[in-house]
Amino acid sequence: GAVVSQHPSRVICKSGTSVKIECRSLDFQATTMFWYRQFPKKSLMLMATSNEGSKATYEQGVEKDKFLINHASLTLSTLTVTSAHPEDSSFYICSASWTGGDTEAFFGQGTRLTVV
Amino acid sequence: GESVGLHLPTLSVQEGDNSIINCAYSNSASDYFIWYKQESGKGPQFIIDIRSNMDKRQGQRVTVLLNKTVKHLSLQIAATQPGDSAVYFCAENGRGNQGGKLIFGQGTELSVKP
């Protein structure tokens, strides 16, 4: 099956610093990648849709200047949390898809971000 | 389903029993649905999917039922095992949505008692 690798799995950073999370599709070309945020005991909330070579589309209420997304190649998308604050602490998950039609998405293992 | 502000529902079953997990989806135009299993600290894992032109689909020990009239989806797990303990989410891909763009339901935490 399709494999999506997310790195790092855990990161602790100081308040005010920026953190980059990588999402890679290992055995397929991902035309589209998605970024989700998940709070404890809650569902996954879609943050943004990232298409290779174009700007990301953000969901309502998600600050694009806070959560910078880059999808420079068909196998890599990055999410940078800029000037992180404790309220940005969360579980961030990416997924990748390869077609424009109805299809499942393949998920990374998630990144636990803790801002201290 | 709407998940903001709601706590995760829980379902506790005895090992060997059958489990039924329910989900109400929100978009009547959605035509593709997936059930995912999420273990603590991990990403969602695909279980089974169903398209809107079907009302039932079976996998290994799992069955998904779709009732479009009432916008309801269920996941049945036969002979539930301790390894099935996890949070289960339904997800929908609305018609016209970009492939892979999924909206997740609230989730249900399944606990299997030995």
Among candidates A96, A104, A108 on the partner chain, residue whose Cβ is nearest the Cβ of B34: A104
Residue range B20-75, pLDDT digits in tens: 999 998 888 888 899 999 999 999 999 999 999 999 999 999 999 999 999 999 99
- How confident is the model at residue A87, as a pLDDT? 96
Kindly state the average pLDDT of the residues B90-105.
Answer: 78
Set of chain A residues whose Cβ sits within 8 Å of the Cβ of B98: 32, 49, 97, 100
| Cα–Cα distance measured from residue B49 to residue B13, given in angstroms and rounded to the nearest whole number | 23
Rg (CA), chain B: 14
Residue range A32-82, pLDDT digits in tens: 899 999 998 899 999 999 988 888 999 999 999 999 999 889 899 999 999
Set of chain A residues whose Cβ sits within 8 Å of the Cβ of B44: 44, 93, 107
3 state DSSP class of A18: coil
- Residue B9 DSSP class: P
CB contact (8 A) between residue B107 and residue A100 = no
Question: Residue A6: CB partners within 8 Å, gap ≥ 6?
Answer: A21, A22, A23, A24, A93, A94, A108, A109, A110, A111, B43
Residue-wise burial string across A52-89, b where 16 or more C-beta atoms lie within 10 A, e elsewhere = beeebbbeeebeeeebbbebeebbbbbbebeebeeebb
State the burial class of residue A101 (Cβ atoms within 10 Å of its Cβ: 0-12, 13-18, 19+): exposed
